[in-house]
Structure 1
Amino acid sequence: MSSVPVLDAAAALQVAAELGAVFAKGAAQRDAERGTPYEEVAALKASGLLAVTVPAEHGGADLPVAVLAEVFRLLAAGDPSIAQIPHSHFVYVNLLKHQGTPAQQARLFAEVLAGASFGNAQSEIGTKHVRDHRTTMVEHPDGEWRLSGEKGYCTGALFADWIPVLTHRGVDGPMVVAWVPRTADGLEVVDDWAGMGQRTTASGTVTLREVRVDPELVTGYAETFTGPQTYGAFAQVLHAALDAGIARAALTEAAEFVTTKSRPYPDAVVARAADDPLVVHAFGQMEVSVRACELLVAAAASAIDAADADLTEESAGAASLAVAAARAATTEASVSVSSRLFEVAGTRSALDSLNLHRHWRNARTHTLHDPASWKVQHLGRWALEGVLPPNHGQL
């Protein structure tokens, strides 16, 4: 595996914009056919973008969250399914920064700089509570630790070189992350994701049958939330950037359709649908919504950077609140703009062959990741009484 380029901020944004434009060209067809984007992910891995948050002391660019969030937005504006694939990669790079041992950091950051990516095996299948975990890492009589269980929503795992597995150390032990090679014996990735949207993320299932674990590659996880942290806010702002990208993509494609294909309504007495004052006003309203959510994402990412520079309970709480506002706004904008697209574009836009409905399906599917209503609740409690949000991985 050869080394990937180390990108500074300007180069990272340029590469993201270029890849986003390339990904956009095949997004509708891939979605319609549920095509697995192997070539596109290979291009993403070779670009150097997956290494932009590797710390400088390990040879990386160590770019701020504000740049990474914009990278995600640009990729998502091209194809949000492809943009979602490396989400967990960056989350676990972030975990390594905060919880990895020096030896783990040296080994795994070197892998990333050589072009490797991390997937995830985090969410449990069949449990009633998000904190329930049936997957366990058990010590056998021969002294080896082995993983067994089943994980769902494993976005990125199909394309990954390493799969971080969230598990218990022992039956009743603390939560840890076991780093397992994608090719490990007993590990299987099943591409069985069948959601109505984000169809080509390959967010399938990982099954683990007595998978051997290297004890030197087990990283603490529970400790992440014992004090002030931005780990949750970091993960959440990337989700928000994804939704902002979906909103921008829907608005861009709506504008292209209206200016080239839509027929004007007779009462407007105009030659082009794009000159109908009601249509123009609708586009203005949507532009306001999309711009607002884009700015809130940028502000939230900057708040995380500020908190990381001076981490306290107050700065971490401020970052979480900023991310909550971004997630609420991007949820509203992505769902509403991708739906209103049809109102402004007219009847022809509903043709299944055009696949314009993928924007709404993508928005509606991805925004279910965390309920926006709870983000608003936390913001409301802070606005009323100055109550900081809870300290967990969803904020």
Structure 2
Amino acid sequence: MSTTEIARLDAETAPLVARRLADELALGDGSRDRDRALPHDQVKAYAAAGLGALTVPLVFGGPALPATTVAEVFRLVSWGDPNVGQVPHSHFVFLNQLRLNGTREQQQRIYSEVRAGALVANAQSELGTKHVRDIRTTLTPVVSTGSTTDGCEWLLNGEKFYCTGSLFADYLAVLTHLDVGGPLHVAWVRAETPGVEVIDDWDAVGQRTTGSGTVRFTDVPVADDWVTPFAVTFDVPTTYGAFAQLLHAAIDTGIARRALDEAGEFVRTKSRPYPDAIAIAGVEKACEDPLVVHAFGEMELAVRSAEALLAEAARRVDEADASLSAESAAEASLAVAAARAATAKVAVDVTSRLLEVSGTRAALAATNLDRHWRNARTHTLHDPAAWKVQHLGRWAVDGTPPPRHGQI
């Protein structure tokens, strides 16, 4: 990484920069999806604009911007291309993990590189385990000396999948046991470290260019001062999970708004009116059909509702961070759960109705309008929305607070 520090953004300039980047992303997101052209240049532009350093604490030279600003940046960038919008998701989540559990020396080292444009990607989930929180990857102590691992305390072995952003990353934040059966920690590993293999094998129907495939670790040397605790995160109230889920909700909201915008443009310029609308309602254009207009009204209402819930959830996260307690952390998680459940439904519904209101021509492969539904459907599978509703229901019925983990 270059040691040149990127200009620091603030709460006013960050969304403006994100909007300009989103407009540029929107010029080519369809072709990148069609050709599965990985957005290396676009991710570099994201980092070069200073958008990756939004949450670096003030003491380490960052702007320490609130969740409201970060969520808005995610929503805007995801409007332009939700693949690029999702790439830095884990970057911000693990920078938050670093803030909570890293030593001052660890924070100084990593935050300084992030200010210079470094990107962090996750290596968390694994295929073939019992559930998403079942981890086999392990750091084992080095028992010999005089080898290539001399001077390092641990060897990292394991294989991860769904490693979003790994193809673009400078650092991989690896969720791993500290010794066999030990507590979960995060190993901060440079992507170019010997023994690290980043594999381009992501083949989902949507979010095709997020670089979310396999990363394999084979006897990767890791020094002790590149390891931070993870399991302890949930011993006390935090907004760790709420913040992570908030950014997912922002991605879904951006997808929904872009789909609605493109539907409007298509109906105004390409769709033909239905014969009955001409005969009965006397319309000349598809965009004048009262049934089409009503459908757009319903979608606009849904997207505005999602945007409002997103903004409210972000505000609750900021309030909890300002005065953290078990109650404020629970309120933040519940607000984010509501936003996440709503934005997931709205994103899938609106991206499907895009084709309904636009007509048969919109289904032609050349339009690639189906990418919005494919992106929404793929991204919303991260966490079951039904469990968000379940926790909201338990709170409403008997005041049971949501569990403490990274998925609510």
Fold match (TM-score > 0.5): yes
User: Deviation string for 1:204-246 (max 9, x for gaps)?
Assistant: 1100000000111110101100011110000000000000000
Which of 21, 25, 47 matches 2:27? 25
Secondary structure at the residue paired with 2:12?
helix
Does the 8 A contact of 2:47 with 2:119 survive in 1?
yes
Distance 1:187 1:55 in 2: 30
Partner of 2:270: 261
Aligned counterparts, 1:377-392, within 5 A: 377-392=390-405
Which of 248, 253, 266 matches 1:244? 253
The TM-score normalised by the length of structure 1 is 0.99
Secondary structure at the residue paired with 2:28?
helix
Which of 66, 69, 84 matches 1:67? 69
Distance 1:106 1:392 in 2: 26
Aligned counterparts, 1:225-374, within 5 A: 225-269=234-278, 270-374=283-387
Partner of 1:35: 37
Shift in Å at residue 114 of structure 1? 1.1
Does the 8 A contact of 2:348 with 2:373 survive in 1?
yes
Structure 2 unaligned regions, length at least 5 = 146-152
Partner of 1:193: 202
User: Deviation string for 1:322-374 (max 9, x for gaps)?
Assistant: 00100111011100000001111001000011100000000100000000011
Partner of 2:149: none
Secondary structure at the residue paired with 2:55?
coil
Distance 1:345 1:282 in 2: 11
Distance 1:365 1:371 in 2: 12
Distance 1:372 1:120 in 2: 22
Partner of 2:216: 207
Does the 8 A contact of 2:125 with 2:133 survive in 1?
no
Superposition RMSD in Å:
0.8
User: Deviation string for 1:249-292 (max 9, x for gaps)?
Assistant: 11000000000000001111211101101111110100000000
Distance 2:296 2:398 in 1: 37
Structure 1 unaligned regions, length at least 5 = none
User: Deviation string for 1:136-162 (max 9, x for gaps)?
Assistant: 000021273110110000011111111
The TM-score normalised by the length of structure 2 is 0.96
| Aligned residue-pair number | 395
Partner of 2:230: 221
Distance 1:135 1:261 in 2: 52
Does the 8 A contact of 2:198 with 2:216 survive in 1?
yes
Following TM superposition, where does structure 1 have runs of at least 4 consecutive aligned residues deviating by more than 4 angstroms? none
Greater Cα offset, 141-150 or 295-304: 141-150
Shift in Å at residue 113 of structure 1? 0.7
Shift in Å at residue 21 of structure 1? 0.8
Partner of 1:44: 46
Return the letter of the residue paired with 1:15: V
Distance 1:259 1:129 in 2: 46
Distance 1:74 1:32 in 2: 22
